């Protein structure tokens, strides 16, 4: 498996283009994009579990019922959420106009939005600009599409991996956005994935579920879960490999590994670019009684404002890690609890080791920091990622809407 | 019922004194205090539900088994948590030396600590200073005791209420500390309460549980739950009222109301003085299917960093309130969801009303802000309190330990 350029256009038969339509205030930033497969694709999606959901979530879910899609229309700057009936009509119209312009069926268009909640979509701007994007769709501009879905992100998230299934080269590419309202246990952001693999709907869904569960569902920026999050994947079979199904075990595992590598890398990019983040933190919890417990404990550490501020301050305040593990739902016994910062053991079976403070300072001055917690109660483990919490997070979010 | 001066020494027969022992670095701040009842008292306590618990929690729980106590020794600057066997021996010794000095039984001394986790208690300093405090115990210095338990608190929390039970004046007073690691669903901080009421152990426990559940368990600063939190109450019967029991219904309700008033007021003081806080936020969730749902939704709003930063930025970003309600465990239907900032309705049954922005700005410029959410699904409600989230929270917590 190797990483390749091209993002969401790296796989054969996928195009992408974007424009500035006027939804965002900054005229230098794109805010409306279309991702298009030249042929109809098998498709799957995972969506926010928030009970307040944006109109686009309802529309995309409905359009995925037949497991097919050919295009994704996505805007940033407005979430089209808490917008009542009109919001639903607007999301449907986004699909309709895109379908008409691209000469495909409305049911084959998926819709995504991100931005402010509770403002009516400026539909005139959206509708006027869809034909402009369509006209540009002879290009493969994944990078501009990756830019067009950004909100408070500071860098675009765009990746692709390529590997062989049998004798056929298969490519999976994706773009993502994150930054705020990032919380595990759901899609947690926008991510659009394209692949030229030939794969049936059941296998595609299974691979997506596995990959998201171990990547996007394992990151946390602020513990807030968005109303708009979705991960969509389109597979257009242009690689001409033998059809992957759950039963073609080896090929399925290869595809799943490729997809997981892509989503894990994108997830880490999102955690690293969390609002105001200066460091990426990897949390490994091992020795748990079961996988659920390992996840509970890791999530609790990743969500703790006190742990995250200590990391920001490069302060080896491991007591906050112990406290966060202790209030998680995991089975925890102080007597068997061990904590490491980097490779340095700080707490050993409940006993503080008081390691050299300068060594800890140097570990915490790195850009990427690993915290390991051994619960000492079993054999299960989980890895999650988060970022530190800085004044910049506050500054960004105190003034985001206005 | 009226508020009176004197805090933890307002009730008859209670003394308090404190010293600077050298646990804290700042020699201008007290860090060791004793609260003492001249006669043995009925006592009750509630403790952190964190699975990692400080040594003092274990000791105080054990010493409360007979529902009696006469003194509380408390230090700030060191949590005596994650300190292994030695920590437990140290906490026991704090009780022992205090008991010997005051000529009471070690089992009648309760122990509390707050501060950094994972550092050995400087027991020499503690033991040397206990006789010094005891010698000062001819005074009623509640205010200095309130100062001695502060960590990152910016103001002392000290209150007392007085009311009649039958013909007898009864007083309940308390001191508390909060600031960080404040999260509902447990004691969430240190609070010591004294009363001269004559009340049996069962009634005292019941009244304490009710009051804490609706006050300290309804505030949130950062969602982090501490390892050391406890609420202790001593009742020494000096008011000479007829003994309150669960069966003396009217008197019990009067006592409970007084205790709740005290704890609610102290809890709001803690929320208002949350680390870096500039505003107190009261969240009322009504129209819930059940009380649990109302609490889930209110807690979710109170814990949301995005809601808290928006309040700090005086930005009426109500979409974040909708999102936080949506990802709570409560039953929520967007169609019946209404949101108010102050008295101004912003969302009505899922429909945005777009109220005057200047009106909202003026509401959000106040020091105390009320957010009301009507789930429109039932008749249950819950009130919780939180504070806004500012850059100062980050600054405090990035450097707390060092």
Nearest CA in chain A to B119: A352
Q: Nearest-CA distance from B393 to chain A in Å?
A: 8
Task: Please choose, from the candidates A108, A150, A113, A383, the residue with its C-alpha nearest in 3D space to the C-alpha of residue A260.
Answer: A383
- Check B401 against A309: CB less than 8 A apart: no
Task: Please choose, from the candidates A163, A165, A173, A218, the residue with its C-alpha nearest in 3D space to the C-alpha of residue A195.
Answer: A173
Mean pLDDT of A209-226: 82
Nearest CA in chain B to A50: B327
Query: What predicted TM-score, i.e. pTM, was given to this entire model?
Result: 0.82
The answer, yes or no, to whether residue B184 has pLDDT greater than 60, is: no
**% helix / strand / coil in chain A, to the nearest 5?**
35, 30, 35
The answer, yes or no, to whether residue A152 has pLDDT greater than 80, is: no
In chain B, CATH 3.60.70.12 covers 2-272
Looking at mean pLDDT, say which of A310-324, B62-76, B138-152 comes out highest. B62-76
Task: Please choose, from the candidates A318, A304, A334, A301, the residue with its C-alpha nearest in 3D space to the C-alpha of residue B402.
Answer: A318
- Check A398 against B116: CB less than 8 A apart: no
Nearest CA in chain B to A297: B51
- Check A224 against B304: CB less than 8 A apart: yes
Residue found by looking up tokens 């009623």 in the block: B140
Q: Which carries the bigger pLDDT value, residue A323 or residue A211? A: A211
In chain A, CATH 3.10.20.340 covers 280-398
Contacts of residue A344, defined as CB under 8 A and 6 or more positions apart, other chains included, come to A355, A359, A360, A363
pLDDT at B185: 37
pLDDT at B27: 82
- Check B315 against A119: CB less than 8 A apart: no
What are B374-386's pLDDT values in tens digits? 999 999 999 999 9
ipTM of model over 0.90: no
**CA angle (A96 as vertex; A187, A108 as ends), nearest 5:** 55
d(CA A122, CA A125) in angstroms, rounded, equals 6
* A289 in contact with chain B, both atoms CB, cutoff 8 A: no
Looking at mean pLDDT, say which of A347-351, B254-258, B308-312 comes out highest. B254-258
Dihedrals phi, psi of A383, to nearest 5 degrees: -115, 135
Give the CB-side neighbour count of residue A390, counting CA atoms within 13 A: 16
**% helix / strand / coil in chain B, to the nearest 5?**
35, 30, 35
Fold of the CATH domain A2-272: 3.60.70
d(CA B185, CA A384) in angstroms, rounded, equals 26
Mean pLDDT of B53-64: 96
Mean pLDDT of B334-347: 95
Contact residues on chain A for B353, CB-CB shorter than 8 A = none
The answer, yes or no, to whether residue A50 has pLDDT greater than 90, is: no
Contact residues on chain B for A152, CB-CB shorter than 8 A = none
Residue A107 CB neighbours (<10 A): 17
The answer, yes or no, to whether residue B188 has pLDDT greater than 50, is: no
Structure tokens given for A336: 């068997």
Q: Which carries the bigger pLDDT value, residue A51 or residue A205? A: A205
pLDDT at A224: 63
The H-or-E segment that residue B215 falls in is none
Mean pLDDT of B351-371: 92
DSSP letter at A72 equals E
Parallel, antiparallel or unpaired: strands B190-195 and B230-235: parallel
pLDDT at B319: 87
Contact by Cβ (8 Å): A63, A109: yes
Q: Buried (b) or exposed (e) across B221-253, using 16+ Cβ within 10 A?
A: bbbbbbbbbbbbbbbbbbbebeebbeebeebbe
Q: Nearest-CA distance from A73 to chain B in Å?
A: 23
What are A289-326's pLDDT values in tens digits? 999 999 999 999 998 888 999 999 998 889 889 989 99
* B129 in contact with chain A, both atoms CB, cutoff 8 A: no
Contact residues on chain A for B400, CB-CB shorter than 8 A = 310, 313, 315, 317
Average the pLDDT over each of A369-383, B12-26, B145-159 and give the range with the smallest value.
B145-159
Fold of the CATH domain B280-398: Ubiquitin-like (UB roll) (3.10.20)
CA A122 to chain centre: 26
Query: Among positive and negative, which fits the CA dihedral A383, A385, A389, A394?
Result: negative
Q: What percent of chain B has pLDDT over 70?
A: 95
Parallel, antiparallel or unpaired: strands A338-341 and A344-348: antiparallel
To the nearest 10°, report the CA torsion of A48, A54, A58, A64: -60
Q: Buried (b) or exposed (e) across B20-50, using 16+ Cβ within 10 A?
A: bbbbbeeeebbbbbbbbbeeebbbbbbbbeb
pLDDT at A186: 32
Q: Which carries the bigger pLDDT value, residue B373 or residue A318? A: B373
Mean pLDDT of A206-212: 96
d(CA B192, CA B170) in angstroms, rounded, equals 17
- Check A227 against B82: CB less than 8 A apart: no
pLDDT at B222: 61
Q: Which carries the bigger pLDDT value, residue A225 or residue B343? A: B343
d(CA A271, CA A265) in angstroms, rounded, equals 10
pLDDT at A317: 87
The H-or-E segment that residue B290 falls in is none
What are A84-143's pLDDT values in tens digits? 899 999 999 999 999 999 999 999 999 999 988 888 999 999 999 999 999 998 888 999
Structure tokens given for A400: 């985001």
What are A180-197's pLDDT values in tens digits? 655 533 334 899 999 999
Mutating which of A391, A397, A401 best tests the B interface, going by the most B Cβ atoms within 10 A?
A: A397
Q: Nearest-CA distance from A353 to chain B in Å?
A: 9
d(CA B74, CA B33) in angstroms, rounded, equals 5
Q: Nearest-CA distance from B148 to chain A in Å?
A: 22
d(CA B137, CA B176) in angstroms, rounded, equals 20
What are B307-316's pLDDT values in tens digits? 999 999 998 8
Residue found by looking up tokens 């053991």 in the block: A345
pLDDT at A125: 96
Residue A138 CB neighbours (<10 A): 8
3-state secondary structure of B87: helix
pLDDT at B180: 61
pLDDT at B25: 85
Active-site annotation holder among A188, A194, A227, A372: A188
How far is residue A64 from each of residues A48, A234, B256, measured CA to CA in Å? 15, 11, 57
Given A117, A224, A390, which is nearest B305 (Cβ)?
A224
Task: Please choose, from the candidates B36, B101, B95, the residue with its C-alpha nearest in 3D space to the C-alpha of residue B70.
Answer: B36
Given A84, A227, A313, which is nearest B398 (Cβ)?
A313
Contact residues on chain B for A181, CB-CB shorter than 8 A = 306, 323
pLDDT at A222: 61
d(CA B309, CA B388) in angstroms, rounded, equals 6
B219 bridge partner residues: B385
d(CA A280, CA A264) in angstroms, rounded, equals 14
* A325 in contact with chain B, both atoms CB, cutoff 8 A: yes
Task: Please choose, from the candidates B14, B73, B397, the residue with its C-alpha nearest in 3D space to the C-alpha of residue B230.
Answer: B73
> What band does A379 get if pLDDT is binned at 50, 70 and 90?
very high
Dihedrals phi, psi of A197, to nearest 5 degrees: -65, 145
Given B317, B326, B352, which is nearest A83 (Cβ)?
B352
> What band does B225 get if pLDDT is binned at 50, 70 and 90?
low
Please provide the average confidence, as pLDDT, over all residues in chain B.
91
- Check B397 against A226: CB less than 8 A apart: no
Q: Nearest-CA distance from A402 to chain B in Å?
A: 7
């Amino acid at each position: 498996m190797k990483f390749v350029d091209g993002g969401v256009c790296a796989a054969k038969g996928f195009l992408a283009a974007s424009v500035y339509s006027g939804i965002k205030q900054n005229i230098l930033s794109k805010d409306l994009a279309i991702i298009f497969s030249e042929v109809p694709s098998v498709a799957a999606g995972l969506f926010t579990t928030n009970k307040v959901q944006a109109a686009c979530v309802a529309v995309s879910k409905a359009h995925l019922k037949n497991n097919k899609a050919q295009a994704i229309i996505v805007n940033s700057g407005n979430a089209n959420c808490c917008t009542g009936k009109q919001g639903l009509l607007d999301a449907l119209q986004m699909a309709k106009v895109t379908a008409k312009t691209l000469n495909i069926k409305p049911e084959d268009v998926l819709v995504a939005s991100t931005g402010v909640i509770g403002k009516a979509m400026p539909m005139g701007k959206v509708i006027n600009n869809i034909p402009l994007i369509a006209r540009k769709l002879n290009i493969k501009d994944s990078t501009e599409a990756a830019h067009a879905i950004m909100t408070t992100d500071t860098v675009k998230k765009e990746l692709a991996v390529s590997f062989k299934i049998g004798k056929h080269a298969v490519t999976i590419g994706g773009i993502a956005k994150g930054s705020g309202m990032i919380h595990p246990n759901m899609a947690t952001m926008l991510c659009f994935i394209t692949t030229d693999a030939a794969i049936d709907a059941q296998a595609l869904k299974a691979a997506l579920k596995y990959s998201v569960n171990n990547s996007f569902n394992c990151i946390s920026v602020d513990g807030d879960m968005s109303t708009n999050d979705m991960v969509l994947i389109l597979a257009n079979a242009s690689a001409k490999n033998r059809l992957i199904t759950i039963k073609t075990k080896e090929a399925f595992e290869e595809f799943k590994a490729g997809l997981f590598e892509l989503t894990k890398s994108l997830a880490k990019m999102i955690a690293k670019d969390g609002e105001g983040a200066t460091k990426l933190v990897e949390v490994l919890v091992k020795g748990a009684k079961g996988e659920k417990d390992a996840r509970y404990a890791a999530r609790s550490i990743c969500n703790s404002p006190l742990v995250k501020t200590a990391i920001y301050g490069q302060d080896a305040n491991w007591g906050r890690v112990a406290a966060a593990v202790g209030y998680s739902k995991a089975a925890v016994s102080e007597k068997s609890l061990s904590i490491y910062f980097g490779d340095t053991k700080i707490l050993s079976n409940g006993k503080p080791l008081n390691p050299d403070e300068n060594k800890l300072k140097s570990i915490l001055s790195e850009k990427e920091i690993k915290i390991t917690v051994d619960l000492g109660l079993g054999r299960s483990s989980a890895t999650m990622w988060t970022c530190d919490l800085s004044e910049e997070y506050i500054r960004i979010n105190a003034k985001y809407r206005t």
